[in-house]
């Protein structure tokens, strides 16, 4: 390919850099403001107790939405929620073709089937190791290993040079599901020349290697063999290799396997549809769990992160229609704790222990391996690809900066730990951050998307932390009180705290009486005076500043 010096090759993350989750990466090629863009991944993360009513959060694609006519396509590296979960929410804003491998397409189509535009989405299937073009980008998939089938790195060849975008990965020498990492392809790419390595940073602080999924089998078999009653194993639904490992360990202990959780069943269907789990017997339906003797049953559950709507939470709180646990049973948490979920997981552990259930976590036994590369694997990736530039992604700020230090120690000439919104020029010339674009988060709130920094979420948080007070006041034409004001509160007072209501009512009356006649006859002036007075009353008495709303009626 001939090199056009007027063209810039840039990298722009809008999600997944400076945080773990909701990945959205853009590569642009061409003159400034006329670039052709390709998007790699479009994922979500999940809400917590700091965001009332918000379950799903995703990157704000406003920048690329404004340049939609320059977006050539979206390439999905794999089927994890933080890499494709935003497609059903955001595709209509982008309306570009989507490229993915067969298993990822199976998952994607199941998600799109819940929308009313599924038949409008152009989905192009790419085989493992396939090579294809998206606009001016020559893309080649390189098979790696991870905790889900068909994880792919992408070699992105352009006239300005080649980028290796790893997606999520590790070097598993003995993967339970899927092929080993294609080390020869990585070596060949390194020989060809890699301009930039855009690489997963999740486990950069972990020494050594992550370990193989196959290493878990003996340990899980032993742990399950020590259990007397029912056994439940909580894991991520998308970890198809873990499903096979658990099923094999259960079989070794003469236990039948029940799947509890809709997402597990969807993942099981997609896996078998693509030839995975071929050696695993059919799973038992939840409604048939009660027919199995306790010492012959193993239940694989969703809910390893303490999610209130997941199967394990419902089981722990006796709210599941088909599956129960009791004293003497065991729950094995075969998953890492995602930062921010510690409190919810702790509550779930406590509830299980309260029932007399034995809880086994990764701190107690070897029951989990990560799907991301530790330091030795990162070093090996740099040795194979030999890039001129390292761009760490998929990590919090501390991960990105530590990854940059590691890359420089691996003799990479340059490393740029940029965050969401930082546009990095990869070529021509010195690689550097050349611009910063707006980046943000959108939240799925019911059937709409709202800005995470917008009034809906801000207001809901203010209500959650301070409560509300609603004042109803009736004035005559001259601005005099025509009836006693009324105040109702929510999330502010206990039932017996009437004195605080009385103080607030007195404050409302005084506010009207103290207003000059002209302002009393102005609805806006009168309402604002009452609002401020009532809010001050509650702040004085309760040290709280509730959201205060005034309904003024003039007769």
CB-CB neighbours of 83 under 10 Å: 28
Going by pLDDT thresholds of 50, 70 and 90, the confidence category of residue 308 is confident
Which of 454 and 399 is assigned the larger pLDDT?
399
What's the mean pLDDT in 89-109? Answer: 97
Answer yes or no: do 509 and 484 share one domain. yes
Token digits for 228? 């007397």
The one-character DSSP state at 170 is B
The one-character DSSP state at 394 is S
Residue 499 CA to its chain's centroid (Å):
46
Token digits for 314? 């419902």
Asked if the structure places residue 462 within a domain, the reply is no
CA distance 37 to 29: 7
| 204-226 as b/e: b if 16+ CB within 10 A | bebeebbbbbeebbebbbebbee
Task: Report whether pLDDT(5) > 60.
Answer: no
Answer yes or no: do 50 and 192 share one domain. yes
Judge whether 160 and 426 are in contact, CB under 8 Å: yes
Answer yes or no: do 14 and 120 share one domain. yes
Answer yes or no: do 121 and 220 share one domain. no
Task: Report whether pLDDT(491) > 50.
Answer: yes
Length of the chain: 555
Asked if the structure places residue 365 within a domain, the reply is no
Phi-psi region of 518 (alpha: psi -120 to 50; beta: other; left: phi over 0): alpha
Task: Report whether pLDDT(45) > 90.
Answer: no
Choose among 410, 378, 380, 383: nearest CA to 394: 378
Choose among 446, 468, 430: nearest CA to 544: 468
Where does residue 33 rank: exposed (0-12), middle (13-18), buried (19+ CB within 10 A)? exposed
- What CATH number has the domain bearing residue 524? 3.10.20.580
Of 419, 451, 483, which residue sits at a domain end?
Answer: 451
- What CATH number has the domain bearing residue 345? 3.40.50.10710
Cis before 428? omega within 30: yes
Q: Which of 43-52, 109-118, 482-491, 506-515 has the lowest mean pLDDT?
A: 43-52
Q: Which of 181-195, 327-341, 390-404 has the lowest mean pLDDT?
A: 327-341
3-state secondary structure (DSSP) of residue 130: coil
Answer yes or no: do 182 and 309 share one domain. no
What's the mean pLDDT in 278-301? Answer: 95
Answer yes or no: do 434 and 479 share one domain. no
Phi-psi region of 264 (alpha: psi -120 to 50; beta: other; left: phi over 0): alpha
Q: Give me the phi and psi of 491, to 5 degrees please.
A: 70, 25
Do the bridges between strand 389-393 and strand 24-30 make them parallel or antiparallel, or are there none, so unpaired?
unpaired
Looking at residue 511, what is its pLDDT?
Answer: 93
3-state secondary structure (DSSP) of residue 76: coil
3-class SS letters over 231-289: EEEECCCCCHHHHHHHHHHHHHCCCEEEEECHHHHHHHHHHHHCCCCCCCCCCECHHHH
Domain that holds residue 335: 214-360
Answer yes or no: do 248 and 394 share one domain. no
Answer yes or no: do 240 and 307 share one domain. yes
Going by pLDDT thresholds of 50, 70 and 90, the confidence category of residue 1 is very low
Token digits for 428? 């021509």
Asked if the structure places residue 202 within a domain, the reply is yes
Residue whose pair of structure tokens reads 């107790």 in the numeric block: 49
Answer yes or no: do 55 and 122 share one domain. yes
What's the mean pLDDT in 446-457? Answer: 84
Based on its alpha-carbon atoms, the radius of gyration of the chain, rounded to whole angstroms, reads: 28
Looking at residue 93, what is its pLDDT?
Answer: 96
CA distance 300 to 311: 9
Task: Report whether pLDDT(2) > 90.
Answer: no
Task: Report whether pLDDT(466) > 80.
Answer: yes
The one-character DSSP state at 336 is P
Asked if the structure places residue 461 within a domain, the reply is no
What's the mean pLDDT in 411-431? Answer: 96
Angle, vertex CA 15, rays to CA 340 and CA 169, nearest 5: 80
- Domain count for the chain, please give it: 3
Answer yes or no: do 114 and 129 share one domain. yes
Looking at residue 235, what is its pLDDT?
Answer: 95
What's the mean pLDDT in 186-204? Answer: 97
Task: Report whether pLDDT(63) > 70.
Answer: yes
Token digits for 257? 């396997």
Asked if the structure places residue 1 within a domain, the reply is no
Phi-psi region of 135 (alpha: psi -120 to 50; beta: other; left: phi over 0): left
The one-character DSSP state at 120 is G
Q: Give me the phi and psi of 530, to 5 degrees please.
A: -65, -45
Asked if the structure places residue 457 within a domain, the reply is no
Answer yes or no: do 62 and 135 share one domain. yes
The one-character DSSP state at 515 is S
Q: 498 Cβ partners below 8 Å, 6+ apart?
A: none
Q: 110 Cβ partners below 8 Å, 6+ apart?
A: 266, 269, 270
Q: In percent, how much of the chain has pLDDT > 90?
A: 83
Where does residue 136 rank: exposed (0-12), middle (13-18), buried (19+ CB within 10 A)? middle
Task: Report whether pLDDT(157) > 70.
Answer: yes
What's the mean pLDDT in 170-193? Answer: 95
- The pTM (predicted TM-score) of the whole model is 0.89
Asked if the structure places residue 406 within a domain, the reply is yes
Of 389, 416, 451, which residue sits at a domain end?
Answer: 451
Give one DSSP letter per residue of 187-201, joined into a string: HHHHHH--SEEEEE-
Torsion of CA 339, 452, 39, 19, to 10 degrees: -20
Answer yes or no: do 86 and 186 share one domain. yes
């Amino acid at each position: 390919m001939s090199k056009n010096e007027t063209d810039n090759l840039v990298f722009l993350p809008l999600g997944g850099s400076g945080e773990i989750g909701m990945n959205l990466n853009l590569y642009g090629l061409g003159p400034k403001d006329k670039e052709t863009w390709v998007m790699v991944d479009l994922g979500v993360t999940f809400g917590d107790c700091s965001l009332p009513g918000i379950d799903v959060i995703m990157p704000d694609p406003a920048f690329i939405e404004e340049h939609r006519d320059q977006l050539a396509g979206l390439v999905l590296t794999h089927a994890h929620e933080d890499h494709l979960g935003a497609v059903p929410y955001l595709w209509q804003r982008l309306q570009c073709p989507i490229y993915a491998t067969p298993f990822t397409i199976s998952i994607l189509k199941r998600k799109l089937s819940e929308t009313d535009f599924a038949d409008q989405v152009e989905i192009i299937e790419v085989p493992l190791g396939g090579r294809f073009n998206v606009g001016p980008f020559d893309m080649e998939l390189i098979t790696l290993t991870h905790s889900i089938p068909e994880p792919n790195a992408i070699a992105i060849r352009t006239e300005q040079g080649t980028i290796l975008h790893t997606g999520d990965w590790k070097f598993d020498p003995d993967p339970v599901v899927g092929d080993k990492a294609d080390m020869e392809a990585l070596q060949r790419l390194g020989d060809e020349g890699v301009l930039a390595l855009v690489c997963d940073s999740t486990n950069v602080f972990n020494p050594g290697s992550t370990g193989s999924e196959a290493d878990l089998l003996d340990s899980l078999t032993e742990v399950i063999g020590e259990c007397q009653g029912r056994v439940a194993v909580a894991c991520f639904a998308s970890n198809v290799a873990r499903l096979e490992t658990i099923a094999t360990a259960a079989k070794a202990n003469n236990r039948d396997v029940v799947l509890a959780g809709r997402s597990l069943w969807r993942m099981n269907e997609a896996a078998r549809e693509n030839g995975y789990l071929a050696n695993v017997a059919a799973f038992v339906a939840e409604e048939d769990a009660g027919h199995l003797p306790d010492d012959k049953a193993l239940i694989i559950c969703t809910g390893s992160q303490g999610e209130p709507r997941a199967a394990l939470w419902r089981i722990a709180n006796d709210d599941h229609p088909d599956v129960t646990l009791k004293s003497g049973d065991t729950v094995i948490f075969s998953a890492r704790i995602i930062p921010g979920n510690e409190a919810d997981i702790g509550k779930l552990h406590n509830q299980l222990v309260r029932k007399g259930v034995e809880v086994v976590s990764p701190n107690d036994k070897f029951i989990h391996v990560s799907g991301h590369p530790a330091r030795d694997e990162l070093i090996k990736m740099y040795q194979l690809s030999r890039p001129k530039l390292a761009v760490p992604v998929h990590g919090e700020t501390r991960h990105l900066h530590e990854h940059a230090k590691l890359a420089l120690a691996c003799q990479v000439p340059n490393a740029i730990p940029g965050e969401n919104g930082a546009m990095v020029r990869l070529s021509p010339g010195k690689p550097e951050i050349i611009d910063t674009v707006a980046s943000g988060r959108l939240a799925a709130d019911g059937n709409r998307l709202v800005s995470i920094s917008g009034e809906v979420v801000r207001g809901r948080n203010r209500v959650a932390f301070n409560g509300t007070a609603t004042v109803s006041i009736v004035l005559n034409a001259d601005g005099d009180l025509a009836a006693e004001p009324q105040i109702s509160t929510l999330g502010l007072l206990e039932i017996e705290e009437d004195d605080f209501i009385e103080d607030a009512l007195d404050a409302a009356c005084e506010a009207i009486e103290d207003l000059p006649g002209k302002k009393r006859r102005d609805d806006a002036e009168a309402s604002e005076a009452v609002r401020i007075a009532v809010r001050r009353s509650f702040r004085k008495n309760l040290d709280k500043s509730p959201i205060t709303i005034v309904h003024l009626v003039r007769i």
